[in-house]
Amino acid sequence: MEQKNPNETERLKILVVGSGAREHALAWKLHQSPRAGRLFAAPGNAGLREPLVSQVPLAVDDLDGLVAFARRESIDLTVIGPEAPLAAGLADRLEEAGLAVFGPRAAAARLESSKPFAKEFMARHRIPTAAYRAFTDAAEAKGCLAARPEGPVVVKAAGLAQGKGVTVAQNRAEAEAAVREALEENRFGEAGSEVVIEDFIDGEELTILAFTDGRTIVTMPPVQDHKRVGEGDTGPNTGGMGAYAPVAVYTPEVARAIRETVIEPTLAGLRADGLDYRGCLYFGLILPKPGSAHQGPQVIEYNARFGDPETEVLMPLLRSDLVEIMLACARGTLGEVAVEWSGERAVCVVLASGGYPGPYQTDRLITENVSPRLGPALVFHAGTKQNERGEVLTAGGRVLAVTATAPTLEEALKEAYGRARTVHFKDVYYRNDIGYRELARRK
């Protein structure tokens, strides 16, 4: 169907699908655009609400409801935040209804929603990544582990497992337990009915996000996420406990290697495979330690969306108009748009419910002391809700993403932690060492 094509001065109606700090940061940035008219969020949270956006009480997996809403309201641009609606085909449905979308179709979103698909894609297009094998049978998977030398190995649920499907096992026993959980105990349901076993690569992780319209690809500043729950990168993986940008290991040589061996071949591979990718493409990378059997940057994973908390540090650094960029991605005109970034540093500290990523309590009252001395740090909401009295309560594992920008990393950290310390709720937990690798590098 022919897409509605608003003229260059018209204010646009924009729908953001999601309810995390990532979507709050995106809406915050979209709202600054002179092109932004009315903004909606489905379903939103206690920060992603009026006056920033109008909330739409539709779940992210209610594809029929979301498409009907976008048609009824003549939404000019829908921005899809999380992976589940992308994998379920929300972008396909909206495009078929003639509506502009930022986010790939389901076939291209398989780069995230199917680990075996992503691995085969990388093998086909010679994109560097760890060697792997995929299994649906537990005995065969354990046989593969038994045949490997003892030592670290990575076990991944093949499908979407809400960020919990990856185990970096330190030894064979831990890897066998991860196989058992997925294939025998059904811990991840259908998403864990197949596992990928891949070589462990020791090194420094780095995230590169890129805007693309399928023809042009524009990378964003490099980010380092802190995935483990404990300080010093210990304990289980989470969705991400904090992030900072930019990252000094992203030297011009490393940037060139990533562009030549990963980013350009990925874009060329998508085109060769007939996958029309319009949205944000997330490259989860590792720079192997010197002496590693692996040479040069390696892809750990693709995601078919913005990262969280990576987005919370990137949006405050973006100078250009996010509406123009996203619209250009949707229309295939990204090559005509300037994408500029401030030269500042950004830090995000995630405030989580105590116990996360394991069991945790919700409905804790959030109180915040907004002393003017503390400066202009931003608080993006994730798992929050409002009660009938208008009070803000916790409603998830990751609750708030406190973000600050400053000319130096030290100043940004001071600002972010200063603000984080003013936010109170029972059992609040956050890491106190966000950016520690970068600080150590500078000493």
Footprint on this chain of ligand GLY (rule: CB under 6 A): 225, 240, 303, 307-308, 310
Judged by CB, which is closer to ligand GLY: 301, or 321?
Answer: 301
Quick one: tokens of 359?
A: 């069991």
DSSP state for residue 222 in the 8-state scheme: P
Shortest Cβ 400–ligand GLY spacing (Å)? 16
Shortest Cβ 146–ligand GLY spacing (Å)? 31
Q: Are 222 and 206 in contact (CB under 8 A)?
A: yes
Q: What's the one-letter identity of residue 232? A: G
Quick one: tokens of 178?
A: 């991860």
Quick one: tokens of 21?
A: 């700090």
Q: What angle do CA 100, 210, 98 make, to 5 degrees?
A: 10
Q: Give me the residue label for tokens 């990928």.
A: 196
Sign of the torsion angle spanned by Cα atoms 394, 395, 398, 401 = negative
Q: What is the chain's length? A: 443
Shortest Cβ 237–ligand GLY spacing (Å)? 9
Judged by CB, which is closer to ligand GLY: 135, or 244?
Answer: 244
Judged by CB, which is closer to ligand GLY: 73, or 233?
Answer: 233
Judged by CB, which is closer to ligand GLY: 213, or 308?
Answer: 308
Shortest Cβ 430–ligand GLY spacing (Å)? 15
Judged by CB, which is closer to ligand GLY: 164, or 187?
Answer: 164
CB atoms within 10 A of CB 230: 13
The pairing of strands 298-303 and 279-288 is antiparallel
- Report how far residue 254's alpha carbon sits from residue 374's, in angstroms, rounded to the nearest whole number: 37
Shortest Cβ 205–ligand GLY spacing (Å)? 10
Shortest Cβ 22–ligand GLY spacing (Å)? 7
Judged by CB, which is closer to ligand GLY: 161, or 179?
Answer: 161
Q: What's the one-letter identity of residue 101? A: V
Residue 227 pairs in a beta bridge with none
Judged by CB, which is closer to ligand GLY: 114, or 303?
Answer: 303
- Report how far residue 332's alpha carbon sits from residue 27's, in angstroms, rounded to the nearest whole number: 22
Shortest Cβ 96–ligand GLY spacing (Å)? 28
